[in-house]
Structure 1
Amino acid sequence: MEIIHETILELDLNKLANNFNYLKSKLNSDTKIIAVVKAYAYGHGDIVIANSLEKLGAHALWVADFEEGTRIRKSGVKIPIIIANSGTKSTQQIIENKLDIVIYNFELLHLYGKLDKEIRIHIKFNTGMNRYGFDPSVVDELIADLQRYPKLKIQSICSHLAASDNSTEDGFTNEQFHIFEKVSSSFSKGVNQFIDRHILNTSGVLRFPKREYEMVRLGIGLYGVNNDNNLHQVSTLKSVLSQVRAIKKGSKVGYDASFLAKEDMIIGIIPFGYADGLNRKLSVKNGVIIVQNIPCPIIGKISMDSCMINLKGITAKTGDEVVIFGEENTISSIANKLSTIPYEILSSLNRRIKRVYSC
């Protein structure tokens, strides 16, 4: 396929498969995998990724809202698609597209229950993160209300770990497990059937394998962003030098004349800026772009649609390839420079960037 876009996000589906299978190898053979593809599959492009994960054997997909779920369902995906936050105005789309929903408060329970339609639901409990979820103290009231709505088909009980990747908070994480197991047991007894449970994310699978229960939710690890060396980053973000410019000592570069050349320089201009997802703080946080395997510092303030780099020591020309992130300048290393998390880097990537898949 001829590539006509200057900036592309290359996605290696073989690496996606290897990451999926590696994480699967950490689980019991009958543990079900829910693959998280919310936020445009963490910026990777949800349609191709969702269909690939279905073929790899994912039991279900997890998305943020009904729009994400509807788009993926209409692409041909057959496995369950779970909506984490269905909201109150999307009931018709949920039903028409056969989407599962997470029920985390009584308002949602009564809204969907009174529709008198068969809907697959997942009950979420708050075990300490204090975001979404029923508090364990209301489990008896919840069970009583569920009995009023026999067409709501309970598929699982879930919760969310707040710090599974942070060993200094393992005491808190273990307390979450304790609360989850206790409320899950009470709930299953109350509804008189065993209900599948899930609380582990990628870090949870790698650090707390005895808590996998019947299901797990795999997200960032599928895309290869984790400290485990067996997981490999799926994505490489590339662009080109759209102009190469010689400037004199004393010249200024970028908005606010923010960079002053201390010597004669060769600089490169790249058609990729903060509107595309290049965090503007990299202007002053030692951001680099890779050219000919050499890290080139970003100079001047990053613009909306472009940035400039120092090409010192490199013989480069217009049209040469550059790597914004990849194996040499990883998403995790960029996140560390920005004192943020890889999730933010990936989910900030503009959809105007062409996604190119290989396998």
Structure 2
Amino acid sequence: NKLKPGVKVMAMVKAFSYGSGSFEIANLLQYHKVDYLAVAYTDEGVSLRKAGITMPIMVMSPEPSGFDAIIKHNLEPEIYSLEILKSFSSYLNENDYDYPIHLKLDTGMHRLGFEEPDLPDLLRSLAETTKLKVISVFSHLVGSDSASLDEFSLYQLNRFTDMANVIEESLRYPFISHISNTSGITRHPNAQLDMVRIGIGLYGFDGNLQNNQGLRTVAVLKTTVTQVKRLKANETVGYSRKGVLPDGGDIATVKIGYADGYNRKFGNGVGKMIINGKPVNTVGVICMDMCMLDVTGLNVKIGDEVIVFNSELSIADLAKQIDTIPYEILTNISQRVKRVYFYE
């Protein structure tokens, strides 16, 4: 309900769908008839095709070594430079016609994309071949979630519009224009254009919204208690004896560690989890497969459920604890962590 009528949606399912499971998320999006999917690398798109995903997929970082797979699996490459344009065009057969591509414009991110001085050579190259057809032209807002960068966001939008108009005049056929991401959808409605790209918003987070108002948390990370120990005063916990309970108390060992994506920075009381509705702190360093929590006075038992994050203890809360961003919390969850899906 945040989109204007007729605006298409491209859903970002790169990085294992932000840690949520690539095929399962893509399959649900396909069922609900989302217009496009986007992945970072060719292998991600190939995996989705092999799993039965048939809808259009854009590959954002194509490499020449992956061109064969892109064509074989009907994936659509992002073209961000003359070198990649010419390389892909040369790879296509002489009788190939109108292969779908997406042009990336650099309006201020300075990561990938064509800038204004590149347009004459780009348009000349496109005019010299019938192998390629531009399906979309897009750019990326650098600070759509920040009020302090609103002026720059407007500058990017205007710059993008000007460049896209030049491209359309040269090509003489329409294409999809898109620049807006999750926070841009809510903060910059004029930037919705023909399509928006929704990333972390799919998974229930938008840094622009206070308390994520209007979004529903879709993921819960939980584990269980493996063992409970009672410690005497000043006994230590974990590697290098970093964890100490000066007055003694109870610790619970739980099944999650840095190999599961629970960062070592959460150790020594920085991180918090929830057991039996109560917040508890980590004790000692985070181990590869487990960590320890101070559960003194909580009557915790083996097998009790432990919440790492949910709607109450959000990924934004965890990000603040270790001075990072919510994206990293989600995408760092390793694939060995079992995913369980509930459909409503």
Of 313, 332, 335, which aligns to 1:348?
Answer: 332
Tell me by how many angstroms 1:285 deviates: 6.0
Tell me the CA shift for residue 232 of structure 1.
1.3
Shift of 1:286: 2.5
Pick aligned residue for 2:77 from 96, 101, 106 = 101
Look up the match of 1:91: 67
Letter in 2 for 1:264: G
> What is the alpha-carbon distance in structure 1 between the residues aligned to residue 256 and residue 308 of structure 2?
9
Map Cα deviations across residues 141-198 of structure 1 (whole Å, 9 max, x no partner).
1111011221212100000111111111111111111110100001100111222100
Distance in 2 between the 1:354 and 1:81 partners? 26
8 Å CA contact retained: 1:285, 1:337: no
1:208 to 174, 188, 193: 188
Tell me the equivalent position of 2:48.
Answer: 72
The structure-2 alpha-carbon separation of the partners of 1:285 and 1:191, relative to structure 1 and needing over 3 Å to count, comes to farther
Which of residues 273, 292, 301 is equivalent to 2:257? 273
The answer to whether the Cα contact below 8 Å between 1:271 and 1:306 also exists between their aligned partners in 2 is yes
- For this pair of structures, how many residues does the alignment match? 335
1:176 aligns with 2:152: no
Structure 1 residue 223 and structure 2 residue 203: aligned? Answer: yes
CA-CA distance at 1:29 after TM superposition: 2.3
Q: SS at the partner of 1:79?
A: coil
Over the residues paired in the alignment, what is the CA RMSD in angstroms? 1.1
Find the counterpart in structure 2 of residue 126 from structure 1.
Answer: 106
Is 1:82 matched with 2:58? yes
Alignment of 1:128-143 (within 5 A): 128-143=108-123
| In structure 2, C-alpha distance between the alignment counterparts of 1:186 and 1:144, rounded to whole Å | 12
Partner of 1:111: 87
Partner Cα separation in structure 1 for residue 63 and residue 322 of structure 2 = 33
Find the partner of 1:144 among 111, 121, 124. Answer: 124
Q: Which residues of 2 match residues 275-294 of structure 1 at below 5 A?
A: 275-284=259-268, 286-294=270-278
In the alignment, is the contact (CA less than 8 A) between 2:257 and 2:287 conserved in 1?
yes
Contact map agreement 2:204 2:217 (CA 8 A) in 1: yes
Q: Contact between 1:140 and 1:190, CA under 8 Å: does it hold in 2?
A: no
Does residue 1:58 correspond to 2:34, yes or no? yes
5+ long unaligned stretches in structure 1:
1-24
Equivalent residues of 2:269, 2:281 under 8 A apart: no
Residue deviations 1:242-279 (CA, integer Å, cap 9, x gap): 00111111100111100222112111001210111111
Aligned CA distance change for structure 1 residues 129 and 285 (closer, same or farther; 3 Å): farther
**Aligned residue number for residue 229 of structure 2:** 245
The answer to whether the 8 Å contact 1:259/1:299 transfers is: yes
Contact 1:65 1:84 in 2 (8 A): yes
Aligned counterpart for 2:144 among listed residues 164, 167, 189 = 164
C-alpha displacement at 1:56, in angstroms? 1.6
- The worse-fitting range, judged by mean Cα deviation, of 273-282 and 284-293 is 284-293
Report how far residue 288 of structure 1 moved: 0.7
Query: What's 2:216 paired with?
Result: 232
1:75 CA drift (Å): 1.4
TM-score by length of 2: 0.95
**SS of structure 2 residue aligned to 1:301:** coil
Matched, 1:316 2:292: no
Match of 2:10 in 1: 34
3-state DSSP class of the match of 2:77?
strand
- Name the SS of the counterpart of 2:287 in structure 1: coil
CA contact under 8 A between 2:242 and 2:268: conserved in structure 1?
Answer: no
**Corresponding residue SS for 2:3:** coil
Task: Note if 1:43 corresponds to 2:43.
Answer: no
Question: What is the match of residue 339 of structure 1?
Answer: 323
Secondary structure of 1:357's aligned partner: coil
Aligned sequence identity (%)? 37
Find the aligned partners of 1:31 and 1:340 in 2 and give their Cα distance. 32
| TM-score (normalised: structure 1) | 0.91
Does structure 2 retain, via aligned residues, the 8 Å contact 1:285–1:338?
no
How far has the Cα of 1:136 moved from its partner? 1.6
Letter of the 1:127 counterpart:
T
Please give the alpha-carbon distance, in whole angstroms, between the structure 1 residues aligned to 2:130 and 2:139: 23
8 Å CA contact 1:73–1:81 kept in 2: the answer is: no
Q: Distance in 1 between matches of 2:13 and 2:73?
A: 17
Any idea what the Cα deviations from partners look like across 1:115-147, whole Å, max 9, x if unmatched? 233421000110011000011221121111011
Ranges in structure 2 where 5+ consecutive residues have no aligned partner: none
| Kept after mapping to 1: 8 A contact 2:13/2:26 | yes
